[in-house]
Amino acid sequence: MEPRANATAAPIERIQENLIARVERRILNRLCAAMPPWVTPDMLTFTGMFGALLVFAGYIASNFDAGWLWLSIAGYVVHWFGDSLDGSLARYRAIERPRYGYFLDHSCDGFATMLVVVGIGLSAYVELEVALVALAGYLLMSIHAFLSVRVLGELRLSYLNAGPTELRLVLIGLTLAMLIAGQENPIVWQLNGFDLFVGGVGLLLIVLFAAQTATTARRLAKEEPPVRRRDD
């Protein structure tokens, strides 16, 4: 979710306006200072992937016993630790590998997001079709972020004052609600409250993608007006 560095040589402006960014940055800086020398950014990247696998496994196992949802909650914490700290540690030690880090980090982010959201859809609480709407919305926003790096030189890490960490907190809250409320009865059509929440988040992300695309296109149109060529 948080990339290390861009593959291009031009400087990239990192835009991070999420609610807990300052608090999280202080925590990450302290963790970087405390990391032993043998811990590498790659190790942390794969730690984050292991956390995503724990999330996935917990949701699948919740079909047999709701108590397994605690494994998913623990997985979110492990995923935050690895995913948030890998790039931070590379920058802290000044050992960034821009192209390698950018490629590996975003590749792992995509796979981890798939595991988390598909895991939710394969649990006993949310329909898979609804979860896939949320996955589509998240991936569309990821595509917008990648394109913005290329055309604007901006790496936006948050939207609507929320970033990956806030999203994890929301998902932890959703998982706790599953533990407390259990499986709910349908409210609209065959959709229960969890379906409506997850689907609503997905639709919000899709609308946000459309709005951000229109805004960026207008900005680029002003910065890059068409040029008419004179016929000789």
Structural domains of the chain sorted by starting position, each given as residue range(s) with its CATH number in brackets: 13-222 (1.20.120.1760)
Q: What is the dihedral of CA 60, 63, 69, 74, to 10 degrees?
A: -20
Does residue 60 have a pLDDT over 90?
yes
Closest CA to 46 of 89, 86, 101, 3: 86
> How does pLDDT run across 88-132, given as a tens digit for each residue?
999 899 998 888 888 898 899 999 999 999 999 999 999 999 999
**100 CB-near residues (< 8 Å, 6+ apart):** none
Please tell me what DSSP assigns to residue 189: T
> What pLDDT is stored for residue 102 in this prediction?
80
pTM of the predicted structure, to 2 decimals: 0.85
Read off the pLDDT band of 184 (50, 70, 90): confident
> How does pLDDT run across 135-178, given as a tens digit for each residue?
999 999 989 888 888 887 776 766 766 778 888 999 999 999 99
- Residue 188 tokens read as 């609209």
Closest CA to 4 of 141, 118, 135, 101: 101
Does residue 72 have a pLDDT over 70?
yes
- Residue 91 tokens read as 């920058």
> How does pLDDT run across 164-175, given as a tens digit for each residue?
888 899 999 999
**What is the distance between the alpha carbons of residues 147 and 217, in angstroms, rounded to a whole number?**
11
> What pLDDT is stored for residue 9 in this prediction?
44
